[in-house]
Amino acid sequence: MAVADRTPALAEVPTAAVGERTKWTRRLLRNRNVVIGGSVFLLLVLVALFANALSPYNPTRLYPGQRLKPPGLQNLLGTDEFGRDIASLVLHGSRVSLLVGCVTMVLTSLGGVVIGLIAGYYRRLDIVIMRVMDGLMAFPAILLAIALMAARGPGVWNVILSLSVVYLPRTAMLIRSTALSVRELDYVLAAQALGRGGLAIAFRHILPNCIGPLLVQGTFIFAYAVLAEAILGFLGVGVPPYVPSWGNVIASGKNVIREAFWVSLFPGLALTLSGLSLNLLGDGLRDVLDPRLRVQ
Amino acid sequence: MTTYLLRRLLALLPVMLVVVTIVFFLIHLIPGDPVAVILGPEANAQQIEDARRELGLDRPLHEQLVRFYARLLRGDLGRSYFLDRPVTQALWERTEPTLVLMAGGLFVAVLIGVPSGIVAGAYQGSWWDRGLMTLALLGVCVPGFWLSLNFIYLFSVRLGWLPVAGYASVFQDPVAAFRHMLLPAVSLGFSQSALIARIARSCMIEVLRQDYIRTARAKGLAERSVIYLHAFRNALVPVVTVIGITMAILIGGAVVTEIVFNIPGLGRLIISAILRRDYPVVQGVVLVTAAAYMLINLVVDVVYAFIDPRIRYV
């Protein structure tokens, strides 16, 4: 009898979960910002993945005879001062941008969750951790990134590391404040009363409440990181100049702006498009997942 | 008010301590031997040893840190290897262009941002609102340094209206200074105006929902005076904070804009210092901008508390 009683309940669990999931999917798909931003972003990811197949030329090969050709049939978006094809450079540049954006987002999220939960749950550590985070936030973001790059030297992984350090405090503070508001709720008190350990409560009961804000924040950090990577490249302290990245190409376009505006124009457009898609996606996700933060 | 101010200043001390410590450790983040990296491959063993002693890098880490604090308290930021003068002097020489650029950027940001936001908020849902907010979204996404390059191409190279790059001091030649500063200030201020417009709009919408606005309308005031006399002034209160945040963000933006327009300010100083591995200058610029950033944030909070006394008791 007992077995018969429990069977339907067990069977209901997956159905409920699926129902919940379709409900969220439907809500997300109904949001115009999520759909537009998400589709453009997906397109950028596909471009980055298939950059080799899509590029008409090898982006790193120099064709001295083809210097500064305006956009035309042979080079759709023109060539730069070394005769490199701008279209191929822009297509390949998306790889560096998305790699930096994506890994920075993942690193800041992971680090932010661990630091934020510890600070939000262990009050004694909170004071120390938050002062360090305040200290990191006291620098203008791009200057801290520049300073870290100055010490570490050019390179994709150094860019990722620097930007992760710069943007980590924002995520940590977000998770901490969510944790602080959730830890007083009845179900957390109930878990404490049941004798659950601090870490188990933090990760099993508090973390799930942070997922929505974390996803929204992550999208914006992705956008910041893509932009910051381009700025560092433009300033000559980001990825090495021979790596095709949007910032590097815009920097080389600066030197030839009098003769060839197209060198900096197209990578900048790609950068703007990626920023636009991520901002739209972030705004949309915020409206759906975290209505408290909604700006009217 | 005095207690509030004192409390805020005291709260700044630990943050400042962390900031200084981070700046101190910058030189220790250099992979390998920092002295060998700073001096480059041509240096011999004796030079490396001398430089190590001069930088104090031969002492234990905690002693170096304490010396670093002590030096800073005396206002000594070290000596630039390349410029052959104290870092404080190098910083001082480069401050004016950066401050002028920031002031120009802030002016442009407020000039565009506040009216756009107020109009969009006052006529929520109208075509004005939609158009302005689309522009604001674009303003947030268009990278400022790229916008600068396009401005240079259009207004300097094609139309020849303004100089391509460079800087003239306001005190020596105000007209030339204005012509040189116009494009940098607009490209720096434009993206910040988008942020201000978004906040001003949501504040305006919030204020227009308040009871006293309903009262003003109920007593028969013209819509124009309701919006501009009653709502506008109250909506401005949070906008002050955003303008402060904007100023802080402008420090970072100014660094990048200086590179595009070849303006001899702090941004050019730090970038050339990085390329010459002149680390005391890098540390100096980072420290001074961080201090300025904190100070601006403090002033904003105090001004905000002054305008809106409710803040002080929270």
Residues 191-230 of B with CB under 8 A from A: 198, 202, 205-206
pLDDT in the model for residue A53: 85
**CA–CA separation, A275 vs A222, rounded Å?**
9
ipTM of the complex as predicted? 0.85
pLDDT in the model for residue A6: 45
Q: How confident is the model at residue A11 (pLDDT cuts 50, 70, 90)?
A: very low
Instruction: Report the gap between the CA of A194 and the closest CA in chain B (Å).
Output: 35
Instruction: Report the gap between the CA of A261 and the closest CA in chain B (Å).
Output: 7
Q: Does B78 or B147 have the greater pLDDT score?
A: B147
pLDDT in the model for residue A295: 46
- Taking the Cβ of residue B70 and every Cβ of chain A, the question of whether any pair is shorter than 8 Å is answered with no
Best to test chain A binding among B16, B141, B209, B246 (most A CBs inside 10 Å): B141
Find the mean pLDDT for residues A247-274.
Answer: 90
Nearest to A255 by CA among B259, B274, B227: B259
Residue-wise pLDDT for A225-254, tens only, equals 999 999 999 998 899 988 899 999 999 988
Checking if the pLDDT of B118 tops 90, the result is no
Nearest to B254 by CA among B137, B74, B104: B104
Q: How confident is the model at residue A7 (pLDDT cuts 50, 70, 90)?
A: very low
Find the mean pLDDT for residues B186-207.
Answer: 88
Q: Could B26 and A136 be called an inter-chain contact, meaning their C-beta atoms sit closer than 8 Å?
A: no
Q: Could A134 and B248 be called an inter-chain contact, meaning their C-beta atoms sit closer than 8 Å?
A: no
Question: Which of B149, B206, B252 lies at the smallest CB-CB distance from A264?
Answer: B149
Checking if the pLDDT of B223 tops 90, the result is no
Checking if the pLDDT of A8 tops 50, the result is no
Bridge-based pairing of strands B79-80 and B85-86 is antiparallel
Q: Could A143 and B259 be called an inter-chain contact, meaning their C-beta atoms sit closer than 8 Å?
A: no
Q: Could B252 and A143 be called an inter-chain contact, meaning their C-beta atoms sit closer than 8 Å?
A: yes
Question: Chain-wide mean pLDDT for chain A?
Answer: 85
Question: Which of A138, A223, A235 lies at the smallest CB-CB distance from B15?
Answer: A138
pLDDT in the model for residue A219: 93
Nearest chain A residue to B27, by CA: A151
Question: Chain-wide mean pLDDT for chain B?
Answer: 84
Residue-wise pLDDT for B153-187, tens only, equals 888 888 888 887 778 787 888 888 888 888 999 99
Instruction: Report the gap between the CA of A60 and the closest CA in chain B (Å).
Output: 22
- Taking the Cβ of residue A151 and every Cβ of chain B, the question of whether any pair is shorter than 8 Å is answered with yes
- As a whole-number percent, the residues of chain B with pLDDT over 90 amount to 10
Find the mean pLDDT for residues B47-60.
Answer: 80
Residues 142-171 of B with CB under 8 A from A: 142-143, 145-146, 149-150, 152-153, 157, 164
Instruction: Report the gap between the CA of B267 and the closest CA in chain A (Å).
Output: 9
pLDDT in the model for residue B219: 85
Count, in order, helices (H) and strands (E) of chain B: 13, 2
Q: Does A182 or A16 have the greater pLDDT score?
A: A182
- Taking the Cβ of residue A230 and every Cβ of chain B, the question of whether any pair is shorter than 8 Å is answered with yes
Question: Which of B140, B205, B271 lies at the smallest CB-CB distance from A235?
Answer: B271
- Looking at beta carbons, which residues of chain B come within 8 Å of A138? 15-16, 18-19, 290, 293-294
For residue A252, give Cα distances in angstroms to A58, A213, A246, B202.
18, 38, 10, 40
Q: Could B15 and A135 be called an inter-chain contact, meaning their C-beta atoms sit closer than 8 Å?
A: yes
Residue-wise pLDDT for A44-95, tens only, equals 999 999 988 888 888 888 877 778 778 887 878 888 888 788 889 999 999 9
In the block, residue with structure tokens 């919030």? B206
Can you spell out the DSSP letters for chain A?
-HHHHHHHHHHHHHHHHHHHHHHHHHHHHH-HHHHHHHHHHHHHHHHHHTHHHH-SS-TT---GGGTTPPS-SSSTT-B-TT--BHHHHHHHHHHHHHHHHHHHHHHHHHHHHHHHHHHHH-HHHHHHHHHHHHHHHTS-HHHHHHHHHHHH-S-HHHHHHHHHHHHHHHHHHHHHHHHHHHTTSHHHHHHHHTT--HHHHIIIIIHHHHHHHHHHHHHHHHHHHHHHHHHHHHHT-SS-TTS--HHHHHHHHHHTTTT-THHHHHHHHHHHHHHHHHHHHHHHHHHHH-GGG---
Q: How confident is the model at residue B312 (pLDDT cuts 50, 70, 90)?
A: low
